[in-house]
Amino acid sequence: MLNNKLVAERIAKIIKENNLSASSFSKMIGVQRSSISHILSGRNNPSLDLLLKIHKAFDYITLEWLILGDNSMEKPSSKIENKHNSELIIEENDFDNKKQSLLREIVYYYNDGSFERFFPKS
Is 113 a domain residue?
A: no
Percentage of residues in the chain having pLDDT higher than 90: 43
Across 30-114, the runs of DSSP E, i.e. the strands, are 106-109
Is 115 a domain residue?
A: no
Quote the number of domains for the chain. 1
Domain encompassing residue 14? 4-68
Distances (CA, A) of 65 to 12, 14, 28, 32: 13, 11, 20, 23
**Cα–Cα dist 76/73, whole Å:** 9
Per residue in 91-102, pLDDT (tens digit) is 445 555 555 456
**Cα–Cα dist 38/42, whole Å:** 6
Full-prediction pTM beyond 0.75?
Answer: no
Is 85 a domain residue?
A: no
CATH code at 10?
1.10.260.40
Gyration radius of the chain over CA positions: 20
